[in-house]
């Protein structure tokens, strides 16, 4: 593994046309590669609008197998540019069985591995339990030519357990492709609280585990299907890359299309863990109750 890596995250809008979105993502991958990036991360389900705003069985037609048509295209791009790519795809595993799946392509175009989203939300505007079966591949980093990638997806970012398990399994960094935004009917104060919480929890994962975090979100307002009142989600962007002490290295605002790029130093992560030895001091003999739903 290289001592330093150039990593990128693509913050982009996602419109109605799948090919347009894929072409846009590929253009941004080329932009990252031109900046000598070793890794580029795309937002969650970047091939189209966030379809989980309602429950409609017709949306199952959006799913595709892995390997499949999109993975074939992205494999070719990874091989052509010599870059590691993280994409998320609505996976059709079998008839009636679907996952929200992150796929990692290595620099030679091979599929290094995949991660199926473990935590599945079910909230107004985020009806993911209707579409996605909870992941069954565990919290296992994906081995690539640039290191072990702890890839998780969106709602996973709120759970320190997933981040910790990835770190304990040797992840060199944590990666969160995301589709998260505001309800426009919420007050500006509530919207700010939600955004601050989202940033804080992920920076905390970097701090607690002593490794960088890449958070990659989409942007733009997406109206809920069949909404007569124009309701929908305003995806808040604010993608960022944080270092092993939670420091923000690079970030985007809530509306800009941007390829975030920075250099991360693997030796620094090791040094941070030496001065803040959180893994050393864990009382694993006393944590058994963490496997309970609630301690009554």
As annotated, the active-site residues are: 44, 117, 154
CA–CA gap between residue 246 and residue 88 (Å, rounded): 25
Q: Which two tokens stand for residue 93?
A: 């595993």
Cβ-based neighbours of 255, under 8 Å, separated by 6 or more: 219, 220, 237
Output the CA angle 213-218-220, nearest 5 degrees: 150
| Contacts made by residues 228-234, CB under 8 angstroms, sequence distance 24+ | 231/184, 231/185, 232/53, 232/125, 232/184, 233/50, 233/53, 233/125, 233/181, 233/182, 233/183, 234/181, 234/182, 234/183, 234/184
Paired sense of beta strands 173-177 and 147-151, if any:
parallel
Residues linked to residue 265 through DSSP beta bridges, in sequence order: 4
* Burial classification of residue 127, based on how many CB atoms lie within 10 Å of its CB (0-12 exposed, 13-18 middle, 19 or more buried): middle
Cβ-based neighbours of 198, under 8 Å, separated by 6 or more: 157, 180, 236, 238
Taking a C-beta distance cutoff of 8 angstroms, is the pair 208, 163 a contact? yes
The conformational region for residue 30 under phi > 0 = left, psi -120 to 50 = alpha, else beta, is alpha
Taking a C-beta distance cutoff of 8 angstroms, is the pair 6, 261 a contact? yes
């Amino acid at each position: 593994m290289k001592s330093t890596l150039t990593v990128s995250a693509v913050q982009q809008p996602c419109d109605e046309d799948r090919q347009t979105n894929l072409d846009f993502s590929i253009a941004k991958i080329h932009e990252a590669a031109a900046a000598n990036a070793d890794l580029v991360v795309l937002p969650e389900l970047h091939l189209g609008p966030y379809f989980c705003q309602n429950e409609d069985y017709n949306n199952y037609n959006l799913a595709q197998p892995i390997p499949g048509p999109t993975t074939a295209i992205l494999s070719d791009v990874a091989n052509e540019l010599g870059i590691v790519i993280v994409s998320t795809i609505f996976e059709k595993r079998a008839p009636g069985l679907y996952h929200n799946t992150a796929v990692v392509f290595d620099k030679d175009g091979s599929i290094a591995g995949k991660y199926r989203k473990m935590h599945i939300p079910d909230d107004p505007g985020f009806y993911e339990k209707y579409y996605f079966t909870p992941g069954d591949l565990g919290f296992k980093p994906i081995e690539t030519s640039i290191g072990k990638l702890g890839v998780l997806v969106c709602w996973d970012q709120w759970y320190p357990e997933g981040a910790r398990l990835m770190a304990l399994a040797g992840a060199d960094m944590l990666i969160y492709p995301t589709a998260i935004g505001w309800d426009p009917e919420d007050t500006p104060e509530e919207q700010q609280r939600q955004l601050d919480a989202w940033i804080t929890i992920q920076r905390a994962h970097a701090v607690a585990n002593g490794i960088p975090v890449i958070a990659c979100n989409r942007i733009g307002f997406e109206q809920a299907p069949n909404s007569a009142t124009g309701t929908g989600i305003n995806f808040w962007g604010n993608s960022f890359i944080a270092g092993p002490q939670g420091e923000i290295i690079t970030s985007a605002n809530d509306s800009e299309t941007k390829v975030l790029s920075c250099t991360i130093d693997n030796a620094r992560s090791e040094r941070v863990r030496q001065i803040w030895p959180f893994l050393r001091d864990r009382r694993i003999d006393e944590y058994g109750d963490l496997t309970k739903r609630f301690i009554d």
